[in-house]
Amino acid sequence: MNTNDRLIAQNSHIRVLCLVPGGIGDQILFFPTLDDLQAHYPQAEIDVIVEPRAKGAYRVCKSVNEVLTFDYKDRNGLADFGNLLGIVRDREYDVALTLGQRWSVGLLLWMTGIPLRIGYTAKTGTWFFTNSVPLKTEQYAAHMYHDLLKGLGINSPCPELAVSVPKPDLQWADSEQQRLGTTESGYILIHGGSSKLAQAKGIDKIYPIDKWQKIIEDIQQKQPNLPIVMLQGPEDVQLVSAIRQIFPDLKVTSPSDIGKLAAMIAGANLMLCTDSAPMHLAVAVGTYTIALFGPTEAKKLLPPGERYIGIQSPTGKISDIKPEDVLKQVWRG
C-alpha cells in the first residue's frame, strides 16, 4: 500500500470525483459502485461529472453529493477543458474514479493534481493513473464498473442495482395508476422505444410495430382484465402513436422525470422492453422484466437471475426476434 492508499484508508472524510460518460443507463449501472463506495466511506462527499443528457439520473441516487456536467463527446476546445479543470481543482478532491478510456480523460485527471486517480488498464492513458484495474468487458456492466473500487482496495461483491425514489414521485405514480384505472388490477408496462443517440449511431433497438401488435393481441386475448400500459418518453411519441392507431384504447403514461418513471415501473406486474434506460430501472426496482436485444449482449446488460430475462436476436437484428419467443417467456410457468 503506497502513501496515498494509506491516506485514504485512514481518512473517511474524503472528497471523491467520479467521471461517468454515457447516458442515463450508464449512470444507473454505476449506482452500485457509488453505493458501495459510500458504504465504505460513510462521511465521504462524492461528486460526479456526467453528460448533460444524463444528469436527471441522479434524482434517484442517494449516494451523490453534487452532479457536474461536461459533454465528453462534444468537440471541446481548450477553454472548455480549462473551465472544467478549474472547477475540479477548486474542490480539492482526494480520489478520482473514471469510466472513460480516452487518453484525454487520463490527461485531464493528471492535470487536476488529485492524489489518487483510478481507471482501467488500457493501451493508452494508464500512466496518468496512480492505480489501474483490469477492464473485464465480458461481465455484467455494473460488475465491470464496480471493479474500479479494487483500486481503493475494496474487494466486496457488487451490490444489486437500487434507486431511491423521492416520495412526491411515488405519490404521483399512485395518482397516475388511479387515472389509468390500474390500481386494483395491476398492469403490464411496455417500452418499445430507443434513444435518438442510439438511432443516430445505427444501433438497432426498436422492435417493429407489427410484432408488438401480435404480442399485445395475444396478451389481451389471454388476460383481458390485465391492462397494458405503453410507456411514452419524449423520443417514443411516433412509435406509441402508431401502436395506438391499432389499439385506440391502449393506456399511455408519460412520466416527466426519472423518479416518476421508476415509480411507475415499480408498480408494474411485468416490464416488456428493449435494451434501454427503463430496462435498467426495472432491474433496480425489482420488476419482473423481459427485454429484447439485437446487437447488444443481454448478459452484459442484465444481471443473472430468473426475474430478468434477455431475449437475444439470433441474427443481431432485433426485428428477427419472433413474437412467439417473447410470448413463450410471458406465459412460462
Domain boundaries, the chain: 3-152, 167-330
Q: Do domains 3-152 and 167-330 have the same CATH topology?
A: yes
Q: What are phi and psi of 163, to 5 degrees?
A: -130, 160
Residue owning grid cell 422492435: 207
Half-sphere exposure of 271 (CA within 13 A, CB side): 33
For the beta carbon of residue 132, count every other beta carbon within 10 angstroms: 20
Q: What are phi and psi of 228, to 5 degrees?
A: -110, 130
In this prediction the pTM is 0.92
Instruction: Kindly indicate whether the domain formed by 3-152 is annotated with CATH number 3.40.50.2000.
Output: yes
Distance in angstroms (rounded) separating the CA atoms of residues 333 and 138: 30
Q: Which fold has domain 167-330?
A: Rossmann fold (3.40.50)
Alpha helices in the chain (DSSP H): 3-10, 24-40, 78-91, 103-112, 141-146, 167-180, 196-200, 209-222, 237-246, 258-266, 277-285, 298-301, 323-330
Query: Sign of torsion, CA 89 95 100 103?
Result: positive
Q: Give the tens place of pLDDT for each residue, 168-216.
A: 999 999 999 999 999 999 999 999 876 555 555 555 678 999 999 999 9
The DSSP element (H or E) to which 187 belongs, if any, is none
| DSSP-derived 3-state class of residue 24 | helix
Q: Give the tens place of pLDDT for each residue, 207-250.
A: 999 999 999 999 999 999 999 999 998 888 989 999 999 999 99
